[in-house]
Amino acid sequence: MAGEVGASARDRVIIVSRDGRGDVHIRPIRGRSLPLELVALLRPHHWVKNLFVLMPLLLTPAALSWGAVGSAILAVAAFCAVASAVYILNDYMDRDADRKHPEKQFRPLAAGTVPPSVALGTMGLLLVSGFTLASMLTTHFAALLATYFGLNVGYSLGLKKLPIVDVLIVTLGFVLRVEAGASLIGVATTEWITIMTGLLALLLALGKRRDDVINSRDASHRSSLVGYNRPFLDNTMTAVLGALLVTYIIYTTDPSVAARMHSDYLFYTIPFVAAGIMRYLQILFVEKRSSDPTDVVLSDRVLQGTILGWALCFGLLLYA
């Protein structure tokens, strides 16, 4: 069935979801309309990644204003539009390989529920919209958005086939989001913010590769998987998580950061970060749940609680 795509493809479109325990539930949807297929093509659940654009503003209380908030919202919208255009390009390039994948075979282009011409036209509209919004902000922001797009075009055209290079490109995409957000408010990101963003993004990318390896995906699904195995990914992810915690501890106890944030008590947020890291390791190694890290965060209540607790504590220390 994985390779059968024809007139009945629309009847085989599914929703894949994971519950709080990480169990996969597959529910068929019959006769889903083209507009809904187009929404699925945009992958709106991945737009949460573009909230990294807001990080510099949220970490710079002196720059917070209604004008800055408005610009930041436009910036997130621009990244969402361009990111969705990238997803369409990637799905278009991978549509044949995706038909051999147990879950990706039901993506709109692989399943044939959205014609390629419609998908490419939608991609063009998204690019025009995204860069129009960017041009309304600053030239520097538009240039960083263009760099993000160019990097991802290279990824889709072949760089994703190179082990380690593929995850580093994903990592750089997150760093560019933060740098773009900082350019809007005219501040320079500290080395600690850049390092933490890179480590967190690297963790997400490695977690996705681990999900593929655990589920016995082979090179026919993703060429770069020939360069990964479970022990390598487990050890690398553990090292990245440790480095992330150490970097965060240094960040919250750095005198220059305390002076910039006007708070000497940022270290009170460390327990939330430590709890989140330990919970994620527990999910991987105790509960043995293999899943895309984004899906884990969106489904695990404990992780969501640590993130909410961190945000409330950090917000109170900065703004109360």
- What local confidence, expressed as pLDDT, does residue 156 receive? 87
Which of 23, 156, 35, 144 lies closest to 94 in space, CA to CA? 156
* Backbone dihedral angles phi then psi of residue 21, each to the nearest 5 degrees: -95, -5
Q: Where are the alpha helices (DSSP H) in 228-300?
A: 230-253, 255-261, 270-285, 293-299
pLDDT at res. 210: 85
CATH T-level fold of 34-189: Tetracycline Repressor; domain 2 (1.10.357)
User: Is the pTM of the predicted complex or chain greater than 0.85?
Assistant: no
What local confidence, expressed as pLDDT, does residue 76 receive? 96
Report the pLDDT value the prediction gives residue 221, as an integer from 0 to 100.
Answer: 60
> Could you read off the pLDDT tens digit of each residue along the chain, which spans 320 residues?
333 333 334 444 444 444 444 444 434 444 568 888 999 999 998 898 999 999 998 888 888 888 899 999 999 999 999 999 999 999 998 888 878 777 778 889 888 888 999 999 999 999 999 999 999 999 999 999 999 999 999 998 888 889 999 999 999 999 999 999 999 888 888 888 899 999 999 988 898 888 888 876 555 566 677 888 889 998 998 899 899 999 999 999 999 888 888 889 999 999 999 999 889 888 888 887 766 677 788 788 999 999 999 999 998 998 87
Whole-number pLDDT of residue 249: 95
141 phi, psi to nearest 5 deg: -60, -45
* Residue extents of the structural domains in the chain: 34-189, 190-195+206-320
Q: What is the pLDDT of residue 97?
A: 81
- How far apart CA 177 and CA 79 sit, in angstroms, is 8
β-strands 14-18, 24-28 pairing = antiparallel
Query: Would you state the structure tokens that stand for residue 110, as one six-digit string?
Result: 């692989």
Whole-number pLDDT of residue 9: 41
Amino acid at 141: F
Q: Which residue has the tokens 């894949």?
A: 16
The residues, ordered by sequence, that sit 6+ positions from 50 with a Cβ below 8 Å of its Cβ are 76, 79, 80, 83, 177
Run of H or E including 195: helix 191-214
